[in-house]
Amino acid sequence: MRVLITGGPTREYLDDVRCLTNPSSGRMGMELARAARARKHAVTLVTGPTAFPDPAGVRVVRVTSAREMAAAVAKAYPRCDVLIASAAVSDYRPRLRKAGKVKKGPARATLELVANPDILAACGRKKGRRVLVGFALESRDGLKNARKKLLAKNLDLVVLNDPGSFAAERIGATFVFAEGAERLPKMTKEKLAGVIFELLDRPHGGECACGC
């Protein structure tokens, strides 16, 4: 299969030295890319800023902002069979990026934000025969919201992470399908990546991981 993976955080600059971002380490995207490669798939990883080196045998596209990630995904998407979106994309960016370093000003300041494109939702609208997997991190009503996301973005699977999974070594996750859900035991991101590919590599018509 030709597998396209997104990973890492995005950075949305408000001037030349400050940005909006989040603590995603990029490890999940890296582990997914390695697991896919180990299973002999052709892999493209589009990742936001991460300290991890390029995994061997993987085409890596390094980006900074959500819009750059959207452009890189749009380029690779037509030629992929599977998309796994594990990136923690900033939903908003500052409306303006100022040149240089903005000087300290009054005690209160406001920052105007505009919405970023939803990369995965855009792919869901042009799904074709592809398999689409999203990740979700919810602080409440996890199952309900993950299921909503599955339907709204036209996905086959949502990997719902427990809060606290950001930059963590071992994470608790739940597979959410249209037909049901399966809670997984806490495991490393390396193991979770392997479990996701076990599911994707299973021939169609095989037993569903949720037991339905």
Active site (catalytic) residues: 22
Q: Does 30 bind ligand C5P (CB under 6 A)?
A: no
Minimum separation from the CB atom of position 138 to ligand C5P (A): 7
Residues 163-202 contacting ligand C5P, CB under 6 A: none
Considering only residues 26, 48, 124, 134, which one is a binding residue for ligand C5P as defined by CB under 6 A?
A: 134
Residue with tokens 């970023």: 116
- Residue 3 in contact with ligand C5P, rule: CB under 6 A: no
Q: At which residue do the structure tokens 């892999």 appear?
A: 43
Which residues contact residue 144 at a Cβ distance below 8 angstroms, ignoring those fewer than 6 apart? none
Q: CA 181, CA 188: separation in Å to the nearest integer?
A: 20
Under rule CB under 6 A, residue 149 binds ligand C5P: yes
Q: Does residue 44 touch ligand C5P according to CB under 6 A?
A: no
Measuring CA to CA, how many Å separate 87 from each of 13, 103, 116, 135?
A: 18, 32, 14, 8
Q: Is 60 in the site for ligand C5P (CB under 6 A)?
A: no
Q: Would you say 67 or 103 has its CB closer to ligand C5P?
A: 67
| Residue 116 engages ligand C5P in binding (rule: CB under 6 A) | yes
Three-class DSSP category at 167: coil
Helix residue spans in the chain (DSSP H): 27-38, 66-76, 119-125, 142-152, 189-201
Question: For ligand C5P, which stretch binds (CB under 6 A), given 13-21, 49-57, 82-90, 100-108?
Answer: 82-90
Beta carbons of 56 and 37 less than 8 angstroms apart: yes
The SS3 call for residue 207 is: coil
Q: Report the alpha-carbon distance of residue 71 to residue 90 in Å, rounded.
A: 15
The residue within the footprint of ligand C5P, chosen from 3, 14, 20, 89 (CB under 6 A), is: 89
Please give the structure tokens belonging to residue 26: 């990029």
Least Å distance, CB 33 to ligand C5P, is: 14
Task: Check binding of 21 to ligand C5P (CB under 6 A).
Answer: no
Applying CB under 6 A, the residues found at the interface with ligand C5P are 6, 66, 85, 87, 89, 91, 116, 118-120, 134-136, 149
